């Protein structure tokens, strides 16, 4: 059985820790391979390697760095099917969704190709007589990324293309549930001409993570995952003097107004709630219907659409599935536990995804699409992030009540409203306390040239990911005020030079 190690100094290397974790195919339940769980010393060695590579890479002209990104983009396009298949085999999402994930990551690479412009800084001539002022956006040093299982290609590419393009070196600690894709990305970066040591992958668990959070050579840490872990990452890394962006959990609401287009609502909600089996931080898990009539029509139409949903393995079928399995047996059991809790707390279970079996894949980690009606704000299935194919329908009497529900929730990652009324939509965009907002768009993930991030307990740290915030996060500002001797008056100066 293959054991995946690390990627250090431009090549795959075996781990000597002696600890491993199994990696499964979620559609079959079969073990694919083992992944090493690196030791603290191995993690420190990767950091040392990145620190050594920083000396030359940080001095490399931005245009040369951009050319590596251009070549990396080309290689990603050439190997797109291969990478998407790896995603499906280890995460479980259907092949088309895996291709979409890779595309969204590739868009950040395209953004990073513009680094000669993005990292220019600013210049002011004659801020005082004969005095000029300018800024430089300097690379940080060695930076780290800690990424989740649900997007093994896209989320790392939210981080390292911008970080590397800015002149930093990078240590990635990916999820141990689907480690093959990050290692393949590392190989393609080397093929694209990235110098050895600039990008390193350390597979591991909390032992490796804690080194990245505390080692003095790490300047900044990026994280995506659950809120409890995000809070731990943020507090620990900040306590050790690091810059941190830690994206946490979500409970994304979608308001359905009485004037919304019913067909558009159903089509959007099906993909947003059940796409990728709900394992997305931007998934819609709560539909807030304004009025009982809206809710009654919605749940009836949803039940019909769910009946047509094809659930099965992500590849290898004559008819492609719409939704695949969850990533692990443990996570599937956790989601089923939430469905049990919803029933116990009195929500009306209209579609039950428990005991869902896919013929020919009886050992896969499948949970069927699940629909609850008459969900109340005090219930666990409303309050907590389930991270599975479970949609809760909540009924309210007015738009104002719907808005208040969202603003009172502890999470503020993404949200949406479906309406034909421009005044309502404009009010929603202005007053909802959420970082990413969709107007008749169910999953409002910003394009790569904008920045991704939520509010409240969905984000720890002031800067969002990729886009302009990504460049700001991975650089330090220097401001230089310069004057040359020509024409200087003699004698001491007791005023600011800009006062002359």
Annotated active-site residue in 113, 166, 281, 289 = 281
Strands of the sheet containing 370-373, edge to edge, are: 348-351, 370-373, 390-396, 284-290, 252-256, 414-418, 436-439
CA distance 428 to 31: 47
Q: How many CB atoms lie within 10 A of CB 231?
A: 14
Q: Packing angle between helix 95-112 and helix 154-165, nearest 10 degrees?
A: 10
Q: Estimate to the nearest angstrom the gap between the alpha carbon of 150 and the chain centroid.
A: 9
CA distance 360 to 163: 44
Four-point Cα dihedral 410, 414, 419, 421, nearest 10: 80
Q: Is 113 a catalytic residue?
A: no
CB of 233 closer than 8 Å to CB of 244: yes
Cβ-in-10-Å burial (0-12, 13-18, 19+) of 487 comes to exposed
What Rg value do the Cα atoms of the chain yield, rounded?
A: 25
CA distance 129 to 103: 51
DSSP secondary structure letter of residue 275: G
- The stretches of 193-328 forming alpha helices (DSSP H) are 206-214, 227-239, 262-274, 292-307
Residues marked active site are found at 281
């Amino acid at each position: 059985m293959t054991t995946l190690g690390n990627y250090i100094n431009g090549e795959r290397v075996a781990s000597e820790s002696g600890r491993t974790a199994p990696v499964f195919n979620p559609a079959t339940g079969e073990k694919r391979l083992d992944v090493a769980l690196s030791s603290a010393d191995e993690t420190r060695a990767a950091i040392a390697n990145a620190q050594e590579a920083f000396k030359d890479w940080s001095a490399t002209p931005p245009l040369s760095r951009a050319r590596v990104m251009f070549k990396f983009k080309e290689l990603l396009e050439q190997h797109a099917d291969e990478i998407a298949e790896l995603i499906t085999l280890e995460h479980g999402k259907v092949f088309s969704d895996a291709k979409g994930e890779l595309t969204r990551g590739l868009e950040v690479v395209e953004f990073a190709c513009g680094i000669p412009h993005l990292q220019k800084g600013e210049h002011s001539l004659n801020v005082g007589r004969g005095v000029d002022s300018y800024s430089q956006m300097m690379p940080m040093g060695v930076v780290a990324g800690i990424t989740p299982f649900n997007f093994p290609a896209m989320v790392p590419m939210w981080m390292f293309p911008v970080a590397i393009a800015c002149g930093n070196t990078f240590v990635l600690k990916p999820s141990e549930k689907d480690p093959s894709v990050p290692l393949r990305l590392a190989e393609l970066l080397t093929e694209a001409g990235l110098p050895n040591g600039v990008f390193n992958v350390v597979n591991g668990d909390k032992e490796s993570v804690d080194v990245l959070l505390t080692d003095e050579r790490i300047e900044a840490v990026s994280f995506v995952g659950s809120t409890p872990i995000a809070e731990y990452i943020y507090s620990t890394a900040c306590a050790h003097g690091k810059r941190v962006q830690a994206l946490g959990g979500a409970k994304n609401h979608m308001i359905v107004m009485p004037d919304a287009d019913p067909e558009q609502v159903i089509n959007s909600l099906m993909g947003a709630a059940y796409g990728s089996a709900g394992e997305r931080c931007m998934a819609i898990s709560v539909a807030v219907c304004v009025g009982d009539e809206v809710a009654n029509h919605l749940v009836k139409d949803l039940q019909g659409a769910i009946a047509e949903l094809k659930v099965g393995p992500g590849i290898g079928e004559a008819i492609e599935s719409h939704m695949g399995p969850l990533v692990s047996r443990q996570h599937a059991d956790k989601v089923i536990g939430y469905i049990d809790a919803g029933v116990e707390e009195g929500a009306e279970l209209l579609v039950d995804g428990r005991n869902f079996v896919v013929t020919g894949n009886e050992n896969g980690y499948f949970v069927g699409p699940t629909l609850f009606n008459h969900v109340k704000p005090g219930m666990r299935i409303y309050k907590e992030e389930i991270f599975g194919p479970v949609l809760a329908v909540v009924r309210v009497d007015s738009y104002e009540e719907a808005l208040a529900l969202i603003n009172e929730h502890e999470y503020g990652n993404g949200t949406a409203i479906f309406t034909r009324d421009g005044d309502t939509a404009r009010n929603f965009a202005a007053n909802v306390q959420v970082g990413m907002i969709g107007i008749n768009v169910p999953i409002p993930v910003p394009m790569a040239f904008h920045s991704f991030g939520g509010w409240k307990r969905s984000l720890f740290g002031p800067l969002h990911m990729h886009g302009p915030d990504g460049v700001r996060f991975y650089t330090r500002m220097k401001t230089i005020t310069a004057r040359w001797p020509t024409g200087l008056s003699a004698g001491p100066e007791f005023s600011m030079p800009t006062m002359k």
